[in-house]
Amino acid sequence: MQRGNRATSRLSRLPWLLCLAVLPALGLAALVPLADRLLARNQARALLEQVRQELAEPGGGSPAGLPAGCRPGWLLHLHHRGEELASWGDIGGCGVSGATATAGGFKWIGRGVTGGLLDVQCLATRNAYLDGAESLSLSTRLGTNLGYKWSLAATVPFLYNHEKVDSFGVEKEAYLPGFGDLSLEVTRKLGITNAHTLTLAVTAPTGAHDAVRRGVILPQRQQLGSGVMGASLTYEYTRDFDWGLMIYGGTLGWGGWENSVGDFRAPSLSGYLYAGYLLGPLVPSAGLTVTGRFMSDRERHVTTMNAREMFSIVPTLGLEWSSDYLAVMLSLSTTLSFQRMDSWTIGLGLQTSLF
Amino acid sequence: MDVLRKLLLLAGCLTLGACAALSGRPGTGTQAAIDDEAQAARARIGRKVKGLIVWSSSRAGNHNLFTMNPDGSHIKMITRGETVDWFPRFSPDGREILFCRSKQGWVYERDANMNFKWDLFTVSSDGGEPRKVAGDACWGTWTGPRQIMFSRNTKVFTKDLGSGQEKLLLDSTRVESLGGAELQQPQLSPDGKCLALTLRGARRQTGVYDLQAHSWAHTGEGCQVNWFPSGGRILWVNPSGNGGSELFSIPLKGCRPEREYSYEEMRYLDIPGRRSHEYFPKLSPDGKWLVWAATRRGHDHDIADYEIYIWEVGRPAAEATRLTFHSGNDRWPDIFTLATGGEHAAGQ
């Protein structure tokens, strides 16, 4: 028993180590463009200083190393206009043509597949909680573009949940298969290169929220649906680089009102950052999602979270392979609350674009 | 549940392993049938314009250069070997082609700014033995009958092919507004005063550098800026529109736009239909014809199934004519047109 506890303890430390490894890497990746600019700016400033000094000297002329025909005066002029020129911005384009989508808690990072009338994603995920419960999900996401700026998508999840329930003092296995909550989303692309997107998603209560197994109403996390309408608003910015892409985003989620059995999913705010690197036909990626809840979830009218549990982070590693017709992605993530690891998620996704 | 769990993990690992085992190189592809309508459209083009198109294709392995008539007929392979030959540009008289060649085997176009992976060669437009004209260089274009211009990462050089003398034209590390960016596809304006550039690395912009005033005008996002042969106007690829890309164009006064232009004002060409992911635009020397390549699926410039198109400038976009029908990668076309009654070294 003790050995089992130690093993669990070691296991629970693993995701933190993973997180510690991913966090600095992401932070460094996010700083690359800034560092590039600072370096270039410093080089230019050093050169300008050299120009000033040489001009100040009697008979000072064109400093060594300047491009042929390059007059220092113009460089000084540009230096003073630096802030104005910088305000043009540098949104990408002509780059990796990155594709992202989220379904079933699975964030697709990579090239994806484009060009068809109907984009199809099938995502299989296994979510394992440390207390032994687990959930298998097969989500199908169908999406299509409406013109150049709008797109529509629907996600239908099929779930297979497993939990040990206390049935009149006896612990028993409970299984619950079925369709979850249907999600519909509309996305507006923004900006001249469509690098920004705003997505409104609405979930309809199509999955059972009050399923009973072994004489017990299953806990909220093992139900197939929430029982109420929910909605979320996501802003995302995709920035492409020569080496790959970075995705910055945030989601405001509203899980709906309390449902008929007294379960309630609290509103939340998430921020995320993902980076994908082009490696031949593969795109390895890493990401981090930070989520805070505005209040506690409730289960049968009872508050289920303490203050520390209302904040969670999810480090994710992914690997995508794509061709013109098919993309495959493997993803591994873990959810960490402030106190402990809550769950592991492994996912396999297939993506194509039909017709 | 345990079995399902293991199966899921195994399936994922096996699938990705199998996929990763496949090379990232483009396939050689196969020739597709050309339907009657496309054949008729090509014939119409053939009656309107005489000349030669050169482009880079993976249909014989790593990319080689091919030529064809403007109606898509008489396809001829003019370079061979395992190196990647791409970005071909006709000399002003159309007799020679300047192109970029990998030093060794397969190299991604994403590495185009790693100049140590490339050399510049010329080859006669009817084939023959290529001749190396510049080392550690890429993005070569002609700036005169015997003068070329090319990029070495953050620097743009000109080279006189007669004397072999190179001259530094621009170094982005010494111009604050360029911020040390990699200088991609430099193109000199017809009057030689402005340099159109795509910036990568430290900056991601398209714009024009004034070689006299030493100032940078950021004209837009996207990539692959081209001058109209008459000067005073540029066009480039912007990632928007039907198929995820389209061509933008704006007029310039000197080396700068006179004002900011709206999205609608900048839109120049976006062909209708499903194959509308346009890249690699290039105008003919007389400015009457535009060639480019477009794909229906995928984006990677050197892997996806791009096909070569031609369009008579000013005609409706729907009249763009597809010239190649091959599932290999076809990219970076250039067109040399003959004046009526003219002759061409390659022969027609």
Cα distance between the two ends of chain A: 56
Q: From the centroid of its chain, how far is CA B125? A: 17
Does A181 lie in the same domain as A216?
Answer: yes
Task: Give DSSP secondary structure letters for A232-271.
Answer: EEEEEEEEE-SSEEEEEEEEEEE--S--TTS-B---EEEE
pLDDT greater than 60 at residue B21: no
Residue A141 lies in a domain: yes
Tens of pLDDT, residue by residue over B212-240, are: 999 999 999 899 999 999 999 999 999 88
Tens of pLDDT, residue by residue over B23-72, are: 567 888 999 999 999 999 999 999 999 999 999 999 999 999 999 999 99
- The per-residue pLDDT string of chain A (355 residues; one tens digit each, 9 = 90 and over) reads 455 455 445 545 555 555 555 556 555 555 555 565 566 567 666 666 765 666 566 544 444 444 444 344 333 333 333 222 221 222 234 655 555 556 556 788 888 888 888 889 899 988 888 878 888 999 999 998 888 888 999 999 999 998 888 877 888 888 899 999 999 999 998 988 888 999 999 999 999 988 888 778 888 888 899 999 999 999 999 888 888 889 999 999 999 999 998 999 899 999 999 999 888 888 899 999 999 988 888 888 888 777 667 888 899 999 999 888 899 999 999 888 776 667 888 999 998 888 7
B153 touches chain A (CB under 8 A): no
Please give the pLDDT value at position B341.
42
Q: What does the block give as tokens for A82?
A: 């630096």
Interface contact flag, B214 A111, Cβ < 8 Å: no
**For residue B131, which of B151, B144, B146, B116 has the smallest C-alpha distance?**
B146
Instruction: Say which amino acid occupies B18.
Output: A
- Residue A70 has its nearest CB partner, among B24, B214, B305, at B214
Does A109 lie in the same domain as A70?
Answer: no
Does A110 lie in the same domain as A81?
Answer: no
Neighbours of A156 (CB within 10 A): 16
Does A45 lie in the same domain as A152?
Answer: no
Q: What is the ipTM for the molecules in this complex?
A: 0.84
Interface contact flag, A148 B242, Cβ < 8 Å: yes
Instruction: Say which amino acid occupies B237.
Output: V
**For residue B26, which of B73, B53, B50, B60 has the smallest C-alpha distance?**
B60
Cα separation, B75 vs B61, whole angstroms: 16
Please give the pLDDT value at position A101.
59
Mean pLDDT over the full length of chain B: 91
Residue A92 lies in a domain: no
Q: How confident is the model at residue B299 (pLDDT cuts 50, 70, 90)?
A: confident
Q: What does the block give as tokens for B275?
A: 């194959």
Q: What does the block give as tokens for A118?
A: 């109907």
pLDDT greater than 80 at residue B19: no
Helical ranges in B165-208 per DSSP H: none
- Smallest CA–CA distance, residue B341 to chain A, in Å, is 40
**For residue B51, which of B79, B80, B78, B90 has the smallest C-alpha distance?**
B90
**Global confidence as pTM:** 0.81
Does A107 lie in the same domain as A81?
Answer: no
Interface contact flag, A192 B238, Cβ < 8 Å: yes
Residue A32 lies in a domain: yes
Residue A254 lies in a domain: yes
Chain B positions in Cβ-Cβ contact with residue A91 (cut-off 8 Å) = 204, 221
Please give the pLDDT value at position A243.
84
Residue A94 lies in a domain: no
Residue A6 lies in a domain: yes
Q: From the centroid of its chain, how far is CA B134? A: 19
Handedness of CA A181, A286, A151, A117 (dihedral sign): negative
Q: Are A96 and A244 in contact (CB under 8 A)?
A: yes
Does A22 lie in the same domain as A121?
Answer: no
- Smallest CA–CA distance, residue B309 to chain A, in Å, is 18
Query: Facing residues of B85 across strands?
Result: B101
Neighbours of B82 (CB within 10 A): 11
Does A126 lie in the same domain as A81?
Answer: no
Does A198 lie in the same domain as A53?
Answer: no
Residue A199 lies in a domain: yes
Query: Facing residues of A13 across strands?
Result: none
**For residue A346, which of A99, A111, A136, A176 has the smallest C-alpha distance?**
A136
Cα separation, A236 vs A273, whole angstroms: 10
Question: B334 φ, ψ to 5°?
Answer: -135, 150
Please give the pLDDT value at position B323.
98
Contacts of A242 (CB under 8 A, 6+ apart): A95, B110, B113, B182, B200, B201
3-state secondary structure (DSSP) of residue B42: helix
Which residue out of B166, B171, B299, B331 would a mutagenesis test of the A interface target, given it has the greatest number of A Cβ atoms within 10 Å?
B299
Q: What does the block give as tokens for A135?
A: 């959930």
Residue A317 lies in a domain: yes
Cα distance between the two ends of chain B: 69
Instruction: Say which amino acid occupies B148.
Output: I
Does A246 lie in the same domain as A149?
Answer: yes
Q: What does the block give as tokens for A175?
A: 């299984």
Cα separation, A353 vs A112, whole angstroms: 9
Tens of pLDDT, residue by residue over B178-218, are: 999 999 999 999 999 999 999 998 888 999 999 999 999 99
Please give the pLDDT value at position A331.
92
Find tokens 């031949």 and name the residue: A280
- Exposed e or buried b per residue across B30-50, where buried means at least 16 C-beta atoms within 10 angstroms of its C-beta: eeeeeeeeeeebbeebbeebb
Helix-strand-coil split of chain B, %, nearest 5: 15, 40, 45
For A352, half-sphere exposure in the C-beta direction (CA atoms, 13 angstrom radius) is: 5
pLDDT greater than 60 at residue B155: yes
Instruction: Say which amino acid occupies A15.
Output: P
Q: Are A92 and A193 in contact (CB under 8 A)?
A: yes
Interface contact flag, B174 A348, Cβ < 8 Å: no
Does A123 lie in the same domain as A34?
Answer: no
For residue A104, give the CATH number of its domain.
Answer: 2.40.128.130
Cα separation, A223 vs A164, whole angstroms: 13
Could you tell me the fold of the domain covering B34-337? Neuraminidase (2.120.10)
Does A246 lie in the same domain as A124?
Answer: yes
Cα separation, A97 vs A89, whole angstroms: 19
* Domain residue limits, chain B: 34-337
- Exposed e or buried b per residue across B170-199, where buried means at least 16 C-beta atoms within 10 angstroms of its C-beta: bbbbbbbbbbbbbbbbbbbbeeeebbbbbb
The DSSP 8-state label assigned to residue B231 in this structure reads S
User: Which of A34, A58, A86 is a domain's end point?
Assistant: A86
3-state secondary structure (DSSP) of residue B67: strand
Q: How confident is the model at residue B306 (pLDDT cuts 50, 70, 90)?
A: very high
- Smallest CA–CA distance, residue B47 to chain A, in Å, is 33
Q: Which domain holds residue A46?
A: 2-86
B27 touches chain A (CB under 8 A): no
Percent share of chain B, pLDDT over 90: 81
Strands A244-254 and A106-110: unpaired
Please give the pLDDT value at position A308.
67
Interface contact flag, B8 A346, Cβ < 8 Å: yes
Please give the pLDDT value at position A343.
82
Total domains present in chain A: 2
